[in-house]
Structure 1
Amino acid sequence: MRQLTRAEPDVRRAAPGRDRRAPRAPRVTPSGRRPRPAKAAPAVAPAAQGAPAQAAAVQAGSPSGRAPRAPFVLLVVGLLCGGLVTLLLLNTVLAQNAIRESDLRRELHQLSLQKQKQKSENMQLEMPRQVADAADRQGMVPDDSARVIDSDGLPGGRVASESQTPVGQERVPGTGR
């Protein structure tokens, strides 16, 4: 088929008896432009019309089957932010507990050192020489009336009688001791 120029109109004639319509008039196009083929209407509304139109198209069963990306992206970002905040709170609580634990350990160490120091002082005060010096300061004198019981079985040794009690012990009434 030969190409037509702008000067020649496209005149096509139908075969007699086949098409009873009148022949179409040639299209007049502005100079410098070529006619474009007609585009089919999009199945999904364009993004410029807004998210509700997209959601309605997806819910109505659009042939593309793609869900909108914005809600998914917002969900992922929300989950990430929520996880980050949770981790920060957990880290803060653990740090507070660690600080409290170290303070309690330091206090426990100081108390154990104080206990050891007091125990050492008490042991020194209970030594015989310290006890004797404390008694002298209070005006006490040694008791020479105490009886020593020697029961090793050698001659000169004696056994305590029923009425005598060892030095430093008191008689308990009703026990016979």
Structure 2
Amino acid sequence: MRVPRAVPRRRGSGPARPEPVADQAPPARAVPRPRRARAPRTPFVLLVVGLLCGGLVSLLLLNTVLAQDSFLANELRNDTKRLRQEKQEKKNRNAQLEMPGVLAGNAEKQGQQPDWERARVIVPDGSASRAASGGQKLVGREQTEGTGR
């Protein structure tokens, strides 16, 4: 129970002291004022520790997922590299099979012979092919009189 002050507080340098009121008797026994109850620390500490543990677990999970993605990306990179090498090998093999000597050898195995008399030139504009000689004489191969050649 509080007792009202008879004299208002002074604004000064020190704390204000209550002056005893004449009609009131001083209390026989001073009753200690109850202290403010402090909030318990345990729930707060548990909350902080729980948040730290949760953050640590989430970071570990995130790291694991990123590591899995890294392994997958590395595997895909290796597959792409292998497929590019296979493509290059096949391209080289096809280029070797299209060489004139190989084509001629394969044609002979199939019983085909070159037809030197009807050699045709393929014109790139898509018009009909024409004979290679087409009435032209070979340069440097003119017949010389009296030689029979």
Specify if TM > 0.5: yes
Please say which structure displays the higher CA radius of gyration. 1
**Residue 73 (str. 1) matches residue 45 (str. 2):** yes
TM superposition shift of 1:107:
1.1
Q: Which residue of 1 aligns with 2:89?
A: 117
CA deviations over 1:95-132 (Å, ceiling 9, x no partner): 10011111111111111111111111000111111111
| Aligned alpha-carbon RMSD (Å) | 2.8
Q: Which residue of 2 aligns with 1:101?
A: 73
Name the CA distance, whole Å, in 1 between partners of 2:109 and 2:79: 38
Q: 1:133 to 1:88 in 2, by over 3 A?
A: same
Name the CA distance, whole Å, in 2 between partners of 1:71 and 1:114: 64
Q: How does 1:1-177 map to 2 (within 5 A)?
A: 43=34, 63-64=36-37, 66-146=38-118, 165-166=128-129
TM (norm. structure 2) is 0.57
Name the CA distance, whole Å, in 1 between partners of 2:30 and 2:40: 24
Unmatched tracts of structure 1, length 5 or more: 1-37, 45-62, 150-163, 169-177
Amino acid at match of 1:81: C
Unmatched tracts of structure 2, length 5 or more: 1-28, 122-126, 132-149
TM superposition shift of 1:142:
1.0
Name the CA distance, whole Å, in 1 between partners of 2:128 and 2:50: 88
Amino acid at match of 1:86: S
Name the CA distance, whole Å, in 2 between partners of 1:39 and 1:128: 122
User: How many aligned positions are there?
Assistant: 98
TM superposition shift of 1:146:
2.2
SS of aligned partner of 1:81: helix
SS of aligned partner of 2:118: coil
Taking only the aligned residue pairs, the percentage that are identical comes to 48
Amino acid at match of 2:128: T
Q: 1:114 to 1:136 in 2, by over 3 A?
A: same
Report if aligned partners of 1:146, 1:167 keep a CA contact under 8 Å in 2: no
